[in-house]
Structure 1
């Protein structure tokens, strides 16, 4: 208990900043402090726990020790809880009945804002906060209880979640309208693998789906795989003629409707997956979270239909 009584947020923020920025001077700039002040916070922290929290990983670079990493993990979770408390207090002061944090994977950002707008219309007494991240970030947020609810494709194995299928998430193999394969009719596995293939980073939901599709062609590997950090960047790259890609139809509905992108025809396409509404199994939604959960289930299908029809 004595160690906790001596622990301060200034010390923890200093540790987090130096860990993220790998430099005491950069951390000082970020925190609006002097380097000696940051060093003093770190020294007090290490004296409190009687162990090093950082070690040098280069001439002027720092990384957390195992003890430092353990403390940072607890600090990150505490910050999430405190952020939620701040939102809850703001909601109560503004007359709201509650606050719900909805985490969505980046693919869902093409329809999630409309969904949140509809939720605010039917539940004006509830504040719905939208958080967008990649699949790994959303899973991490579920583990840390940073989100009350989450929207994503394939539910994770961990943490344990309860998942409700709420609508189709078709994925298409797409090319620019002037691509050589655009007007070929049904194309072969060999023709697909002759093209540069643009994909998300390993671990993303779209990358997993793309890898399974390519391996299922049973005709070798693509001539080239180009990694991009976002679906939007992939879309723009395909439009520019850099290669072909598998993307959620929700991501490219406008470009397909306008004829700028073309859905290629091949065996096994389209790949139809489902969108799921998730929450941690250990913490079923109650109160405002339950209201938002039930409204999403009832509101989202017409939004999907309009988006995919375009």
Structure 2
């Protein structure tokens, strides 16, 4: 209890920001503090526990085992406090309040437009957008940081309640004039002979790509390069560094402009679905219910190509 009384919210926010950004200077910017102030908060917190809470490696600062345990507790407590604040605001204003909407990186190409539409439809509801790769979004579901989530395949854990929105086609894309565009019937061997550009571990698009290539190649090895964003992958493919499997909604504009082309082949496109979901057992606020119902009822208004877009790619 004595240690608990010595901990401050500012110290925990400093630890969270440093571990999230990997750098004290970036964490200071996030918190509108000076780097020495962030360092001081971190040192004070480590003195309370008598152990290191972060380690510095090649990729920047990362939590130690003790730091990770403290971060999990802090994020859970912060999410609970935010829910309490939202609930109090909603009680005070009727159906008004805040809804935190998390989306996977692939959805960021239509998510801002969706949020703009939601704010227009529901001016009394403040819709806050959070974007991350699949692993990060799942982590935020676990810690209760999100009211609603838009993503592809729902996770097995944590348990969620999911409602389908519409098609989520994935295409094999290449630059115009690529050798695959001159083959009448593209075979698995043709596909596996190409260098691939794919997302980082933890990305849903990477999981889908690896699974597809493993299936058509029956475990055969293939060459690939990792990149950490869909934008970088699109630029790499356009520059001729390889081919990629990407969401049709990610490359919608590039296909329209002719900067990239879709390669037709057996089992392509890979058609998955978009879902809007929330953690099972989570009691949704009235604003969150209104937002979720609107998203399910109006996919044609925000999904590129509409709810049945697979046939258009």
Q: Secondary structure at the match of 1:178?
A: coil
Q: Is the 8 A contact 1:91 1:127 kept in 2?
A: no
Q: CA deviation at 1:203?
A: 2.6
Shift of 1:44: 5.0
- Cα deviation per residue 1:2-43 (whole Å; 9 max; x = unaligned)? 3322222343345456666888899889842648x945x566
Change (3 A) 1:247 1:66: closer
Contact 1:151 1:278 in 2 (8 A): yes
**Is contact 2:54–2:67 with CA below 8 Å preserved after alignment?**
no
After superposition, the C-alpha distances for 1:28-80 in whole angstroms (9 at most, x for unaligned) are 89842648x945x566545544x32448778xx98655434322322233344
Asked whether the equivalents of residues 196 and 225 of structure 1 are also in contact (C-alpha less than 8 Å), the reply is: yes
User: Could you tell me which residue of structure 1 aligns to residue 8 of structure 2?
Assistant: 8
Question: Superposition RMSD on alpha carbons, in Å?
Answer: 3.3
Gap change, CA 1:14 and 1:115, over 3 Å in 2: closer
1:193-272 alignment to 2 at 5 Å? 193-218=192-217, 220-222=220-222, 224-272=223-271
CA distance in 2, matches of 1:165, 1:75: 32
Unmatched 5+ residue regions in structure 2?
none
Residue in structure 1 matched with residue 289 of structure 2 by the alignment = 290
Match of 2:34 in 1: 32
Partner residue of 2:102?
A: 103
Q: Which secondary structure state, in structure 1, belongs to the residue aligned with residue 305 of structure 2?
A: helix
Distance 1:28 1:129 in 2: 22
Q: Is the contact between residue 177 and residue 261 of structure 1 (CA under 8 Å) also seen in structure 2?
A: yes
Q: Which residue of 1 aligns with 2:279?
A: 280
| Unpaired segments ≥5 residues, structure 1 | none
8 Å contact from structure 2 (residues 24, 35) kept in 1 = no
1:129–1:225 distance in 2 versus 1, CA, 3 Å:
same
Larger Rg: 1
Tell me which residue corresponds to 1:71: 70
Partner of 1:122: 121
Give the corresponding residue for 2:149. Answer: 150
Residues 6 and 253 of structure 1: is their aligned pair in 2 closer, same or farther, counting only changes over 3 Å? same
| Conservation of the 8 A alpha-carbon contact between 2:142 and 2:158 | yes
